[in-house]
Structures are given as C-alpha cells and as structure tokens.
C-alpha cells in the first residue's frame, strides 16, 4: 500500500527531516580520532529527545541504538561501540526521528583526517549519485529511472559495487513504507511516480564488489571483500517539475568544514 502525502503532511515530514539534519550536524562537530561511536550515539539521542522527538531507529525491529554508525567496510546498520575512531576512517551515520507522528531519515558519510584520492572519489561519486537519483524523483518518471541514474553514475561509469540487497524506501508515519527504491534498475521500469510520494533515496556504494554479508550482531552489513563503502541519504517528495528535498546537508556540510578533524569539504551541495 502506497500512501501519498498531503501538503500539510509534507510540512510535518520536513520538520522531522530537518531535525535529523541538525542531529547529524551536531554529530559532525564531535567526530575526531579518539572519540567512540557510542559517545556519538548518546549525543544524538539526547539532542533528539531535547527537541521533543523520539529516535526512530531505537527499538525498530529490535535495533538497540539511536544511530546506525558504520565504519569503513561496514555498509549500513552498524552498531555504535566503544572502539575509538581513528585517523583515515570513513564513518556513515544514519539516523531518524519521530516528531509529531512523522518520521525523518537521512544519512551522511564523514572522512576523518586525510584520506587517499581513491577514497575521496568514492565519497564524491556516491554523493553525486544521490542527487542524480533525486533528479528523477518527479512526476512521470518511474522507480527504475531513479535506480538507473544511481547505478549508471557509480557502477557503469566508475566501476563501483551497488548493493542489491538493501534499498531506499517510502517514508511517512512509518520508517519504512512502500515502495522500495533500489539503487539499480532499468529506465522506464517500476512504479510510476506521482505527486505527493515521499521516499528516502539512499545509495549504498562499495569500492569493490556489490556483495555483502551480515555480521555476528545480526545487524551490521559488511562488504564481502572488506573494501570501503559509502552511504548518503535524503528524504524527498515527488513533485511535477523537481523533487522537493525535505532533509538538508547544508548544516552538516557547515559542521564538516568547521571541524578540523574532518576532511575538508571537496564537493558542493546540490541543494
């Protein structure tokens, strides 16, 4: 069942998603070598609750934390731990909130300190692919057009692995609603996009193989070849002429630039 959102619902979803963006920006300010990811998770939990919202991930199908924090070869769904962040790590932080009954969901990958050009490219291409997908999230296109735009930019043109077993999704009063939004596909295939459809688009792109496996915690997804993975996510609403991005990378990128422990921004937001 697909639920199309009214303009009033879209504005409630915008508030939820902007709170997620502010949460990720707060986390970005604190990332540095020596900090544990469990510390970042607690910081996010307190901030969400201080803003009269509820962490959307905690307790969802038994997930025990506020954030999915996935380091290096962890693709998504990583558990925050007491392990310390190190120079050269790349860290995907994915979190969600429930505010006024509506869910926000967004993710961003950070680089700690100097990283090789090959890793810079992985992050840059993955982030670009998110916006390539968003360009197709408008009335008249299909779900397959979104997936193909992402796949073409990452896999076809740059040789990366597009994870097949995990997808984006609809979002609204529930964290995961129909439809699924794969990061691969065929142009002209799948559900025809209509006004008011709200979806989370989230490329999960591996430097090597597309194959992944589930770790011993039954949650964390790792690359099968132990190579790095990047992940970015926006929640958007389908409109006639241009998708409306409900989350925002602007405060996250500002925090990224201001934090001397993070690799300086090397691409510009498309918002």
Q: Name the residue among 154, 155, 149 with its Cα closest to residue 125.
A: 154
DSSP-derived secondary structure letter, 94: E
Residue 263's pLDDT is 84
For the chain, the average pLDDT equals 96
What are the residue ranges spanned by the domains of the chain?
Answer: 7-258
CB neighbours of 162 closer than 8 A, spacing ≥ 6? 150, 151, 154, 155, 183, 184, 203, 204, 205, 206, 210
Predicted confidence band at 268 (pLDDT cuts at 50, 70, 90)? very low
C-beta of residue 199 within 8 angstroms of C-beta of residue 243: no
Map tokens 């840059």 to a residue: 124
- The Cβ of residue 105 has, within 10 Å, a number of other Cβ atoms equal to 26
C-beta of residue 28 within 8 angstroms of C-beta of residue 259: yes
Phi-psi region of 88 (alpha: psi -120 to 50; beta: other; left: phi over 0): left
Q: Is the pTM of this model over 0.75?
A: yes
Q: Is the dihedral of CA 85, 122, 256, 48 positive or negative?
A: negative
Give me the mean pLDDT over the 21-47 stretch: 98
pLDDT tens sequence across 191-209: 999 999 999 999 999 999 9
pLDDT tens sequence across 87-121: 999 999 999 999 999 999 999 999 999 999 999 99
C-beta of residue 104 within 8 angstroms of C-beta of residue 173: no
- Partnered with residue 229 across adjacent β-strands are 206
Q: Is the dihedral of CA 28, 33, 37, 40 positive or negative?
A: negative
DSSP-derived secondary structure letter, 262: B
Is residue 264 predicted with pLDDT exceeding 70? no
Percent of the chain with pLDDT over 90: 97
Percent of the chain with pLDDT over 70: 97
Predicted confidence band at 271 (pLDDT cuts at 50, 70, 90)? low
Which CATH number is 7-258's, of 3.90.230.10, 3.30.750.24, 3.40.309.10, 3.30.428.10? 3.90.230.10
């Amino acid at each position: 069942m697909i639920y199309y959102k009214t303009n009033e619902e879209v504005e409630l979803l915008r508030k939820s998603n902007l709170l997620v963006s502010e949460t990720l920006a707060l986390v970005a300010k604190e990332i540095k070598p020596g900090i544990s990811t469990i510390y970042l998770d607690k910081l996010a939990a307190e901030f969400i609750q201080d803003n009269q919202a509820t962490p959307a991930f905690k307790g969802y199908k038994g997930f025990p934390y506020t954030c999915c924090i996935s380091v290096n070869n962890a693709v998504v769904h990583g558990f925050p731990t007491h392990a310390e962040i190190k120079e050269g790590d790349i860290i995907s932080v994915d979190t969600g909130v429930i505010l006024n009954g509506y869910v926000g969901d967004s993710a961003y990958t950070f680089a700690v300190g100097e990283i090789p050009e090959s890793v810079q490219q992985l992050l840059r291409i993955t982030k670009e692919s998110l916006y390539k997908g968003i360009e197709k999230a408008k009335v008249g296109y299909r779900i397959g057009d979104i997936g193909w735009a992402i796949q073409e930019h990452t896999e076809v043109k740059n040789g990366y692995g597009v994870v097949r077993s995990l997808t984006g999704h609809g979002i609204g009063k529930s964290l995961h609603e129909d439809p699924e939004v794969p990061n691969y596909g065929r142009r002209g295939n799948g559900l025809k996009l209509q006004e008011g459809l709200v979806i989370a688009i989230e490329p999960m792109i591996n430097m090597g193989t597309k194959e992944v496996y589930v770790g011993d915690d039954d949650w964390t997804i790792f690359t099968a070849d132990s190579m790095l993975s990047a992940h970015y996510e926006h929640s958007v609403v389908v409109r006639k002429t241009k998708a409306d991005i409900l989350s925002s990378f602007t405060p996250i990128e500002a925090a990224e630039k201001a934090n001397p422990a993070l690799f300086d921004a090397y691409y510009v937001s498309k918002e």
